[in-house]
């Protein structure tokens, strides 16, 4: 069920061309928002725009490059003037056991999941004000432990703490910041990271015994974006089938 709870609002979604990102973009638009999706692959952005329709724009770039983020927010300011919702969703990760972890894996994961998230939010703040909502994509992996998943898990644990600290930094601004933490979700990134067999293993670990659909996670994002969550900040909403809750 969709509503008009985001009517007239402007949203930015990083990692918005595929997976949870495009599912959230669809949901936000159905709920009345105008959405800017941001991603690295032009082909994926073009395909997403074809699905999303006239209330969406696409900007190509990487959240690990501050200059790309500057271009994104310059376009938002030029077209919309202000910004109501930031869904810092872009992320990356892979599996390597402790003895196999490389400098390259650490740099790539933390440049995107931590540094990229920090500057995605920091550079959005001049466009945001009272009633603004910042949503960070965490993960059940930020709470639980999993073999060969330590670098990704550590990066998502860092994201969880960013929301706690930023809620203090944002006192008096009227801007809320919360974390949306999916569990195993049927996305392209998940399949690339752990493979089909790995996904089956992760799915079997949660009480619901299945993987989430991206639209189910997007519903959580829509809740955090709307005034239904107006008295929530520094919180974590888990859409993980109970994986990290028991």
Give the chain's residues under pLDDT 50.
none
pLDDT at position 2: 65
pTM score:
0.95
156 is catalytic: yes
pLDDT in tens, 90-119: 999 888 999 999 999 999 999 999 999 999
Active site residue 73: no
Report pLDDT for 189. Answer: 72
Write down the pLDDT at residue 212: 94
pLDDT at 188: 78
In 142-160, which positions are buried (b, 16+ CB within 10 angstroms) versus exposed (e)? bbeebebbbbbbbbbebbb
> Out of 152, 171, 191, 200, which one is annotated catalytic?
152
- Of the residues 9, 115, 156, 171, only one is catalytic, namely 156
**Which of these, 87, 111, 95, 102, lies nearest to 38 by C-alpha position?**
87
Tens digit of each residue's pLDDT (9 = 90 or more) over 29-70: 999 999 999 999 999 999 999 999 999 999 999 999 999 999
Residues 105, 54: Cα–Cα separation, whole Å? 38
- Tokens 């949901």 correspond to 27
- Give me the pLDDT at residue 232, please: 98
SS3 call for 220? helix
Domains and CATH numbers, the chain: 10-239 (3.40.50.720)
**What whole-number distance in Å separates Cα of residue 72 and Cα of residue 127?**
12
């Amino acid at each position: 069920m969709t509503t008009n709870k985001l009517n007239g609002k402007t949203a930015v979604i990083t990692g918005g061309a595929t997976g949870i990102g495009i599912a959230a973009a669809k949901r936000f638009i159905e709920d009345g928002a105008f959405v800017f999706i941001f991603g690295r692959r032009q082909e994926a952005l073009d395909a997403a725009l074809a699905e999303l329709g006239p209330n969406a724009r696409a900007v190509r770039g990487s959240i690990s490059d501050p200059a790309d983020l500057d271009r994104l927010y310059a376009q938002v300011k030029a077209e919309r003037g202000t910004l109501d919702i930031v869904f810092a969703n872009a992320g990356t990760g892979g599996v390597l056991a402790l003895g196999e972890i490389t400098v390259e894996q650490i740099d790539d994961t933390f440049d995107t999941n931590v540094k990229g998230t920090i500057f995605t939010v920091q550079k959005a703040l001049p466009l945001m004000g009272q009633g603004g909502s910042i949503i960070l994509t965490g993960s059940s992996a930020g709470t639980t432990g999993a073999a060969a998943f330590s670098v990704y898990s550590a990066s998502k644990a860092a994201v969880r703490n960013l929301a706690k600290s930023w809620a203090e930094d944002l006192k008096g601004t009227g801007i809320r910041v919360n974390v949306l933490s999916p569990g195993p979700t049927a996305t392209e990134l998940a399949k690339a990271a752990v493979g089909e067999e790995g996904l089956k293993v992760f799915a079997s670990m949660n009480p619901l015994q299945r993987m989430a659909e991206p639209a189910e996670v997007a519903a959580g994002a829509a809740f955090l974006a709307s005034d239904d969550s107006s008295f929530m900040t520094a919180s974590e909403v888990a859409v993980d089938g109970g994986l990290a809750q028991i």
